[in-house]
Amino acid sequence: MTDLSGTSSPSVVARVAVAQAVPTRSDAALFKVKAALLRVRRHGQDIASGLRLRRHPTGASLADAPVIAQTRSPLWAPEADPREWALTAGKIQNLRIAARCLDGIEVPAGAVFSFWRQIGRATRRRGFVAGRELREGCMISTVGGGLCQLSNALYEAALDAGFEIVERHAHSRVVPGSRAVLGRDATVFWNYVDLRFRSAHAFRIEARMTGSDLDIRFRGIGSADATGMPPLLTPRGDIHDCMSCGQVACFRHTSRPVASQTHQTAWLIDACWPEYADLFARQTGPRDMLFLPMRGSLARRYAWPAAAGREVRATVVALARAIAARRQPAQGRALQTLALTYDRRLAESYARRLPHTHTHLVVGQSLLPHLWKLGCLRGRTFDVLMERWPLAELQRRLDQALLVYPHSPTLGDFRAPPEIVAAEAAALAAADHLYTPHHALAEALHGHATLVPWAVPKPAATARVAGGRALLFPASPVGRKGIYALRAALSGLDVEVLIAGRAREDGASLSDFWGSIPVRSLEGAGWPERLAGVVLPAIIEHQPRALLRAQALGIPVIASTVCGLAPRPGTTLVDYDDVPALRAAIITCLDHVSAR
């Protein structure tokens, strides 16, 4: 299961290839027979030795222990032959699966770590694909190929940590420039060619992958006696590469042309924002893929532009979510828990059908923490379509507001599980680009965000003239939309409030909450002919569609800065918790309308 491309490029392999006996089908069959017999012998040896090998579980007791060894190796060769791209992508997929079996495991003191006992056999059923493997002097394509990059890294880390090497096998042939030249390599082949080591102290393995590197870390306490280095091997240049060696007589040779497959992107998204639909239309290519919940007359919220390439849908999950949502209240913990559950199910559906050849992803934020936990983002570059504040910041703002309004039944009704919050934070930190039209969010991300323009609604045929004493509150009257600040700001003013949303802060009638302030529900989607303004002092607001509509209609807007609008004439922005500033803005708006 050897791949040395983490340390030397395929072009190097091709350049050092020299004449050798061309493998035949009978050679391959004989190799399989020998391998089967050696597996049987290995099984018997393990039983006879009494060595207890087990799969070590993940843990957290050593998560904060010092790093005692670390190795990093590139996933992509800098001068790779384009014909090798697909097999390198396959290698990365194999490393992605294997790394999930390693990341976070904790090995007790004196226990033996076995590569194959921990990873298991590389099969297609488990998601392993064709990658590059060095076998009998040839770089060939085989399921699970490339795992030696992982065993090399583990072996080198074990050496640096001073662990006892119980079993290690060097590569039979050495690629110039690779770790094998220094004797710091460890080849593996299921299951009789294994890598095994142990330490006198408990240790933790962390196996992480960025878009460019494989990163292995050991945490714990290093041994006082460093492991001696094995003898250096003399490089042998008799390595053939099946994609570029030119041995047309070999039974593994294919005459089919190899098309370039680089720069393939998959879009893994949920509900469609017009801003992101425009981004998709501008960036997607014919080899890209679009993963979306569903299409059809019942899927207006998923009205993404048609994909130029392949399109994958999760219709069953989308329909199940829609049916379940209809049975939930319009507000509260049950609804938020349901949303989180179906975000996970949608992410799982996408992950099962995501090709390993798509090495760049564009991900909807609601799916991000689940895809991160599933390991789909390992070894890939990815961008994020921001749909809300990061969970950690969102919950911090809600907690802060709850201290001010502790009697609110909605400000504290839901918090995401800590592991989801942590997964999202880690994924956001690893992302290449964070796209958002939300100005306040972009500012809070401190330059890490890429700002895209809000989609401006089509202007009305005739601009409306603001008038009257009615203010539209274009949301459900719940705590996170700023109703407590608005109620305090409106006290004693000659104004009527129209409420657009159907959810309620406490389930009671509107008059019970608003007291003496005249208030009524807005029927239907249409707005009255005369409005003094639209006001939304929200604590949390991610899509200020109604405010954008008001701007397009020429109606004055009063909103909190966290609504994400850019400053412009006719729009007054205040802090969500600044009641005096909010009241002053409302009075100014009413006076201006009256003066017309």
Query: Which position has the higher pLDDT, 249 or 211?
Result: 211
Distance CA 311, CA 302 (A): 13
Q: Are residues 404 and 491 in the same domain?
A: no
Q: Above pLDDT 70, what percent of the chain?
A: 84
Q: What's 577's domain CATH number?
A: 3.40.50.2000
Does residue 12 carry a pLDDT above 50? no
* pLDDT tens-digit readout, 504-538: 887 667 778 898 999 998 887 788 888 999 999 99
Do 388 and 499 fall within a single domain? no
User: What is residue 18's predicted lDDT score, i.e. its pLDDT?
Assistant: 41
Q: Which of 51-55, 176-180, 268-272, 519-523 has the highest mean pLDDT?
A: 268-272
For residues 272-286, give the mean pLDDT.
Answer: 95
Residue 345 lies in a domain: yes
The pLDDT, as a whole number, for residue 257 is: 46
Short-list 233, 250, 88, CA closest to 173: 233
Q: Would 240 be classed as within a structural domain?
A: no
Domain extent, residue 377, equals 265-451
Span of 1-5, 292-296, 592-596 with lowest mean pLDDT: 1-5
Q: Which of 422, 451, 480 is the last residue of a domain?
A: 451
pLDDT, tens only, 63-92 = 999 999 999 999 988 766 677 788 889 999
**Average pLDDT for residues 52-63, to the nearest whole number?**
94
Query: Is 259 within the bounds of a domain?
Result: no
Torsion angle of the four alpha carbons 561, 565, 568, 571, in this order, in degrees rounded to the nearest 10:
-60
Residue that terminates a domain, selected from 451, 480, 499? 451
Q: How far apart are CA 290 and CA 187, in angstroms?
A: 38
Question: What is the rounded average pLDDT of the residues 329-337?
Answer: 80
At 533, give phi and psi (nearest 5°).
175, 170
Residues 212 and 288 in one domain: no
Strand pairing report for 557-560 and 571-574: parallel
Q: Is it the case that residue 15 has pLDDT exceeding 50?
A: no
pLDDT of residue 26: 81
User: CA angle 520-523-529, nearest 5°?
Assistant: 85
Name the token pair of 543.
């899509």
Say how far apart CA 577 and CA 231 lie, in whole Å: 69
> DSSP letters of 489-534?
HHTT-S-EEEE-----SSSS-HHHHHTTS-EEEPPSS---S--SEE
CATH number (domain holding residue 397): 3.40.50
Structure tokens at 476: 């459900």
Same-domain check for residues 479 and 537: yes
For residues 378 and 211, what is the distance between their CA atoms, to the nearest angstrom?
Answer: 7
Show the 3-state SS of 163-177.
CEEEECCCCCCCCCC
458 lies in some domain: no
| pLDDT tier at 223, thresholds 50, 70, 90 | low
Residue 2 within any structural domain of the chain: no
Question: pLDDT confidence of 326, banded at 50, 70, 90?
Answer: confident
- In a shared domain, residues 439 and 474: no
* Secondary element (H or E) of residue 460: none
- Do 440 and 476 belong to one domain? no
- Say yes or no to pLDDT of 258 above 70: no
Last residue of a domain, one of 203, 223, 243: 223
Q: How far is CA 93 from the centre of its chain?
A: 15
Q: Are residues 487 and 390 in the same domain?
A: no
pLDDT band, residue 39 (cuts 50/70/90): confident
* 221 vs 385, residue with greater confidence: 385
pLDDT at residue 529 in the model: 84
Q: Poorest-confidence range of 34-38, 143-147, 181-185, 265-269?
A: 181-185
Instruction: Please give the pLDDT value at position 523.
Output: 81
Quick one: 409 and 513 in the same domain? no
What is the rounded average pLDDT of the residues 110-138? 88
pLDDT digits (tens, 9 = 90+) for 162-204: 999 999 999 876 655 556 556 788 999 998 999 999 999 999 9
pTM: 0.86
User: How far is residue 41's CA from residue 562's CA, in Å, rounded to a whole number?
Assistant: 67
Evaluated on CA atoms 154, 159, 165, 168, the torsion sign reads: positive
In 3D space, the residue among 519, 509, 533 whose CA is nearest the CA of residue 487 turns out to be 519
Do residues 437 and 487 both lie within one domain? no
Q: Are residues 45 and 181 in the same domain?
A: yes
Reported as a pLDDT band with limits 50, 70 and 90, residue 566 is very high
pLDDT at 156 over 80: yes
Tell which residue, 103, 263, 210, has the closest CA to residue 432: 210
Higher pLDDT, 577 or 137: 577
59 is a domain residue: yes
Question: What average pLDDT does the structure give for the chain?
Answer: 86
Amino acid 48: pLDDT: 85
Model pLDDT, residue 345: 98
Give percent of the chain above pLDDT 90: 63
pLDDT digits (tens, 9 = 90+) for 281-295: 999 989 999 999 999
- The SS3 assignment for 572 reads strand
Q: pLDDT tier at 115 (50, 70, 90 boundaries)?
A: very high
Task: Report the C-alpha gap between 406 and 373 in whole angstroms.
Answer: 34
pLDDT at 230 over 50: no
Higher pLDDT, 87 or 587: 587
The pLDDT of residue 57: 97
State how far the Cα of 496 lies from the Cα of 490, in Å rounded to an integer. 9
CB 495 within 8 A of CB 532: yes
Question: For 451-469, what is each residue's pLDDT tens digit?
Answer: 999 998 886 654 556 678 8
Average pLDDT over every residue of 531-558: 95
Residue 241 counted as domain residue: no
Residues 27 and 168 in one domain: yes
Look at residue 86 and tell me if it is in a domain.
yes
How far is residue 365's CA from residue 543's CA, in Å, rounded to a whole number?
A: 14
Same domain, 188 and 53: yes
Q: What is the predicted pLDDT for the residue at 457? A: 87
Q: Which of 308, 492, 291 is nearest to 385 (CA)?
A: 291
Exposed/middle/buried for 469, CB within 10 Å: 0-12, 13-18, 19+?
middle
C-alpha to C-alpha distance for 262 and 266, rounded to whole angstroms: 13
For the chain, the domain total comes to 3
Q: How far apart are the first and last CA of the chain?
A: 79
Do 234 and 149 touch, CB atoms closer than 8 A? no
Please enumerate in sequence order all residues whose Cβ is within 8 A of that of 209, keeping only pairs 6 or more positions apart, or say none.
75, 92, 95, 96, 99, 215, 378, 379
Per the listing, tokens 């800098």 go with 78
Rounded to whole angstroms, the Cα distance separating 203 from 119 reads 17
